[in-house]
Structure 1
Amino acid sequence: MKVTAVIPARFASTRFPGKPLALILGKTMIEHVYRRTLAAQTIDQVLVATDDQRIFDEVLAFGGEVMMTRGDHPSGTDRLAEVAAKIDTDIVVNVQGDEPLIVPQMIDEAVRPLLNNPALQMGTLCSRIDRIEDYLSPNVVKLVCDQQSRALYFSRAPIPAPRDIPAAELGQRLNELNARRHIGLYVYRREFLLRYPLLPQTPLEILESLEQLRAMEHGIDIHVALTSYDCHGVDTPEDLQRVAAIMQRENLSL
């Protein structure tokens, strides 16, 4: 099966306009994401999907593949589906364009379940939560899974919620919860991805503002792979400085 990674990249951003073109140790963020994605063993092709000519030109300049997409997509999934409709592939991986330290093995961990099980239509990643601040934060999406690693629910609320652990003891007993953080890397069977944006929005999706709940509310299983790797997303210029410092400290520059 052919696996294509697509990196949606928009120039507009409320907190950080022009983020994909921000420089990190002399190279743009989109180049860092592209090259790390290309290093994943399960990936056959990497494409950047953008509606901005500046990003388009930058990807061509460093030798990457890029596709211009419409500018009126309501979500990254819609942009992904437009690309999927135009290419010959079996599996599409949505890699966030603001993860310049994405670890190639993380992508492989998310993709391999779909390669091994033809019945799976969608997959994603999670990691363990080890800070009480993350468990309580509505900005950190949590999830719970069944015994076969299928997602049961995603929420901004603290889940699972322990009935018998006092709130004052949560910080010390967090490991008892087996709480997991969702990582926004998605893997789709191409045929399902083409249908996904056409599914009607669902009540829980709207309530939590979590698009993956739409798939679950329509009866689609989401396989969740547990990773031990960390994520270092960039939402602000301050995040960019932090990522650059990590690259220098750990000699991770391209």
Structure 2
Amino acid sequence: MASDPEFVVAIPARFGSQRLPGKPLLPIAGVPMIVHVARRALLAGAREVVVATDDPRIARVLADSAVEVCMTRDDHASGTDRLAEVAAIRNWGDQTIVVNLQGDEPLAPASGIRTVAATLALSGSPMATLSTPLQTAAELFDPNCVKVVCRADGNALYFSRAPLPWARDAFARDRAALPVNTPFLRHIGLYAYRAGFLRLFSSLRHTPLEQVEALEQLRALEHGHDIAVALAPEPFPAGVDTAEDLARVERILSGRGPA
């Protein structure tokens, strides 16, 4: 892409987690997870990096870092709602590109962060995200692996936990392998929004498909808003949801190799 657009990165970080309580503060190679995530955002060249939290313990570990901390309300239903409050507090203009980097992504590639910002800048869509080709049938049939199906113009047609698209004839014969020449894409949960749309999105009513699939991005599609989708420029490692994930990332960041 000719030139990288100016963008900010906002990182929602909530202390509570059912699987890993205090997840943002868990040490990885001796450093709290949220600090690793913030460093990834800084490496991407963001104009501004803001961690949005409601917990002073998270704010304290970032006190000597190069990132800003924005204290937000403790009643937000989602990270997106938290970021909408940040956009208002920071007084970001409606056209400001805001990248939503989850606080449990300590391995997020800087190139992916730049790509999702550039995708939004080049598209006519108010929201952008990333995808990557699926590698195995096990991923396709895993409900924890979110799939995305795209239109011919590259915008999202649908996101689902179900195996999509359904290769009818091929799967009638064999479901153990992915059929060739079929666009199976895994969704990567990294988003960019215009700040004005971020505020609008948080005000939209929740929608049936969003609720049944438990996928917040479907709210945008159900209300008629486009989501531009780009391929990630390099592998995008999974985030940290479980103790096993934490051990895997620890091995990588401590220099003991991948799992």
Same fold (TM over 0.5): yes
Q: Which of residues 70, 77, 90 is equivalent to 1:74? A: 77
Task: Read off the aligned partner of 2:183 and give its amino acid letter.
Answer: N
Correspondence 1:209-224 to 2 at 5 A: 209-224=214-229
- TM-score (normalised: structure 1): 0.93
1:109 and 2:151 correspond? no
1:12 and 2:2 correspond? no
Change (3 A) 1:218 1:106: same
Contact 2:112/2:236 (CA < 8 Å) preserved in 1?
A: no
Residue equivalent to 2:138: 133
Residue equivalent to 1:178: 183
Residue equivalent to 1:204: 209
Q: Which of residues 205, 225, 230 is equivalent to 2:230? A: 225
Change (3 A) 1:250 1:150: farther
Q: Which of residues 87, 97, 106 is equivalent to 2:103? A: 97
Contact 2:251/2:257 (CA < 8 Å) preserved in 1?
A: no
Secondary structure of the corresponding residue to residue 241 of structure 1: helix
1:155 and 2:155 correspond? no
Deviation at 1:251, TM superposition (A): 7.7
1:246 and 2:252 correspond? yes
Question: Structure 2: which 5+ runs fail to align?
Answer: none
Q: Summarize deviations over 1:81-110 as a string: whole Å, max 9, x none.
A: 000112243111110110101100001111
Residue equivalent to 1:123: 128
Secondary structure of the corresponding residue to residue 232 of structure 1: coil
Question: Structure 1: which 5+ runs fail to align?
Answer: none
In 2, the alpha carbon distance for the partners of 1:171 and 1:249 equals: 34
1:39 and 2:35 correspond? no
Task: Figure out how many residues of one structure are paired with residues of the other and give that number.
Answer: 250
Change (3 A) 1:102 1:250: farther
In 1, the alpha carbon distance for the partners of 2:172 and 2:70 equals: 49
- TM-score (normalised: structure 2): 0.91
RMSD: 1.7
Contact 2:116/2:129 (CA < 8 Å) preserved in 1?
A: yes
Query: Identity of aligned pairs, percent?
Result: 48
Comparing 4-13 and 222-231, the one that deviates more? 222-231
